[in-house]
Amino acid sequence: MKTYIFDPISPEALAYARSYLDVVCWDSSEIVNYANAEAVIVRTFKMTPMMIDQMPNLKIIAKHGVGVDNIDIPYAKSKGIRVTNTPTANMNSVAELIIGLAFNCVRRITQSQMAVLNGLEKNSPMYLSGYELAEKTLGLIGIGKIGMSVGKKLHDAFDMKIIAYDPFATTDYCNSLGFAKTESLDELCSKGDIISVSVPLTKETRNMIASREISLMKETAVLINTSRGGIVNEDDLYKALKNHKIFGAALDVFVQEPVRKNHPLLSCDNFIATPHNGANTTDALIRMGIGAVDEIIRLKNGENPLSGL
Ligand code: NAD
C-alpha cells in the first residue's frame, strides 16, 4: 500500500513501515505527488479538505499520536476514508512526566538547580525546603488513560491517597481503582495536596481551573496541567503563584505554544514549565509510529483498524 509519511517518525517505526508498506518518506521528492497516496501517516501535518481532495486514492489517515485536531475527520469520513490514532501509546510517558513534575514542585528541584548555579553560601537553605508525597492526597481531575495511570502509580508506589473528579466515571469504577470519587470539583480542589488535570479541552473544561477554584486550594497545594492549554487560566494562576496562594504549579501545555520566554508565569520561582513534552520519549515515539503503521497494515490485510474514529 503506497503510504506517505508526512512528518518524521522514529527510525524503528520507519524500518517497520518499510518492511510491510510501499513508503514515501517526508524527505523524499516524491512526497508532493499527493495523488498516489493510498495511506498517510501524520503527526502535525494538516489534513484539510483541500489536501484530502488532492489524494483521490486515499483509504486511511493514520494519526501518529492522540489529538486529531489537525485532521478534518467529518470531511475524511464523507469521502469514505478511515481515520485512526494511537490512543494508548503515550499514556505512560505523560503519566511519568506528571509524577516527575509533582516531585519537582514539592522538592523544588528546578529552583534548587538555579540556586546552585547562582552560588550558595550554605547547604539546605530553608527557602528550598519541600515536602514528601508519601501519604498525601492526590486529586485527579479526569481519570481516563493518563489520570488513571498516574493515580495507580502514586497510590501503589508512594502510598498516596487518591481522590478523583470525573463526571463520566462511576463510583464503582473509582473504587475498583482504589480511588475515592468526589462529587464536585470544589471538593477536589479543597482536599488535594497535588492536583493534576488530565481532561480534553472542551467548552466545559476551558478555564475550568481559574481564580475561584485556586482560592479553594490549600496553601501547600501543587497544581499540574499536562492536558491542554486554556484548561487552567494562566492569568489567574500567575496571580496565585506571585501571591503564594499555593505552593507551586507546573504546566506542560499553554494557550500559546511554544510558550514565549517572556510569559509572566516564567517569572514565578514556584512555577515549572515544560514545552509540551508529555509524549516526548523514545518509547512513546516508537509505540506511536508502530501503532500508526499497524493500523494501515490491518486495513491492507482486510481487517478493521483498532482505533476507528
Ligand atoms: P482520556 O480520553 O483517556 O481521558 C480523559 C478523561 O477526562 C475521561 O475520563 C473523561 O471522562 C474526563 N473528562 C472529560 N470531561 C471532563 C470534565 N468536564 N471534568 C472532569 N473530567 C472530565 O484522555 P487521556 O489520554 O487521559 O488524555 C488526557 C489529556 O491529556 C487530553 O487532553 C490529551 O490531549 C492530553 N495529552 C497531553 C499530552 C502531552 O504531551 N502533554 C500527551 C497526550 C495527551
Residues whose CB is less than 8 angstroms from the CB of residue 210 and which lie 6 or more positions away in sequence, other chains included: 232, 233, 236
The string of pLDDT tens digits covering residues 108-167 is 999 999 999 999 999 999 999 999 999 999 999 999 999 999 999 999 999 999 999 999
pLDDT of residue 189: 98
Instruction: Evaluate: CB of 236 within 6 angstroms of ligand 1.
Output: no
Domains and CATH numbers, the chain: 2-89+281-300 (3.40.50.720), 91-273 (3.40.50.720)
Instruction: Evaluate: CB of 65 within 6 angstroms of ligand 1.
Output: no
User: Model pTM?
Assistant: 0.91
Instruction: Evaluate: CB of 141 within 6 angstroms of ligand 1.
Output: yes
Q: Which three cell numbers stand for residue 86?
A: 494511537
Q: What residue owns the CA closest to ligand 1's atom 40?
A: 278
Instruction: Evaluate: CB of 165 within 6 angstroms of ligand 1.
Output: yes
230: left (phi over 0), alpha (psi -120 to 50) or beta: left
**What are the residue numbers of the active site?**
228, 257, 276
**pLDDT < 70 positions in the chain:** none
In Å, how far from its chain's centre is CA 4? 26
pLDDT of residue 96: 98
CA of 226 to the centre of ligand 1 (A): 9
Calculate the alpha carbon distances from 276 to 75, 86, 170, 258, 273 in Å: 28, 18, 30, 8, 9
Q: Which residue has the cell 469521502?
A: 79
